[in-house]
Amino acid sequence: MRVVDGTVQVARPHITGRAPDAGRRTVLLTGASGVVGRALLPRLRDLDVACLVHRSPVSGPNVTTVLGDIAKPMLGLTEQAYAELAAKVDAVIHCAAVTDFGRTDGSLETTNIAGTANVAAFAAAANAVLYHVSTAFVHTKADGDRGRTAIGYAASKSAAEEAVRSSGVPHVILRPSVVIGDSVTGEIAAFQGLHKVVAGMFAGTVPMIPFDPSWPIDFVPADVVADAIACVVENRVSEGEFWISAGDKALRLDEGVAVVIEFARSLGVSIDMPRFVPPDVFVRPLPDQRESLRNSVKYWAAQKGYAQPKTEQAA
């Protein structure tokens, strides 16, 4: 898969043994209420879709709902329900994932890693191809403590990919970059990190940006991601790792910021262009935390009239 003139293309698909006209197919979709799943669901109109949902219901003319939980063995289903579902599913599209970088309660690992292993086990039971939606930032690394939470998310997605590969099931791994709203309507199932940055700019709380303004910001509209995934599924691709990325069409960071500022001003919201500063200027190693706290308390005590420590008075 590649981006050519802004279009995601799939080249030379590996086709499964089932004949192209073998009848209407049934797919199991996880994460149907999420950002990618919600955009993908209407695109799968030529398939029967069984949506495994944990909390948020979904609907559609070709949709049936299965109440379950990918974090549990057998997807939280009874043995009979599990077997009946496996008997009718031809393919599995796994979109469900925890994308909240700040999670520290273990749900990143439980959902993204163990949950993916459970979905892969179901695909094996169903003798189905597994289409696993990962992230283009699966190999993200960072120096120091900055971006540590994002690294945790990337690590969980990397481990999930390994769970898919080690399962032995026929599989396709798809790696979209940052997913934004529909390219025409802007609609999205849930606001993402990019929206939080925009909110900060609108509120005037982003006076500086610690990045090189020439850096690319790679994002892809949700409908483009959905079309790419559906194309792979419909063409019965059964192996490969594909990136869904803006590629050389990605905007520069300063270009993206300019778009936000221009739109804000069209709404009558006056915001200034944030100042770009080199990352190495913004990032400073923390000094000794105990000593910093002691000095802060010392200053407070001096301002409140407390005598200074005897050792420092003698000095």
Q: Are the C-beta atoms of residues 9 and 1 closer than 8 Å to each other? A: yes
| CA angle centred on 41, ends 38 and 45, rounded to 5° | 160
Query: pLDDT digit string (tens) for 140-150?
Result: 665 544 455 56
**pLDDT score at 305:** 87
Task: Look up residue 199 and give its amino acid.
Answer: A
Q: Are the C-beta atoms of residues 50 and 41 closer than 8 Å to each other? A: no
Distance CA 214, CA 219 (A): 15
Q: What CATH fold (topology level) applies to the domain 2-177+218-249? A: Rossmann fold (3.40.50)
pTM: 0.81
**pLDDT score at 3:** 40
* 19-46 mean pLDDT: 88
Question: Over 60: is that where the pLDDT of 46 sits?
Answer: yes
Query: pLDDT digit string (tens) for 156-201?
Result: 899 999 999 999 999 999 999 999 999 999 999 999 888 999 999 9
**pLDDT score at 29:** 98
Task: Look up residue 151 and give its amino acid.
Answer: I
Query: pLDDT digit string (tens) for 208-223?
Result: 898 899 999 999 999 9
For the record, the structure tokens of 207 come out as 């006076």
**pLDDT score at 81:** 97
Domain segments of the chain as ranges: 2-177+218-249, 184-217+251-284
Distance CA 128, CA 86 (A): 9
For the record, the structure tokens of 17 come out as 């043994």
* 109-119 mean pLDDT: 93
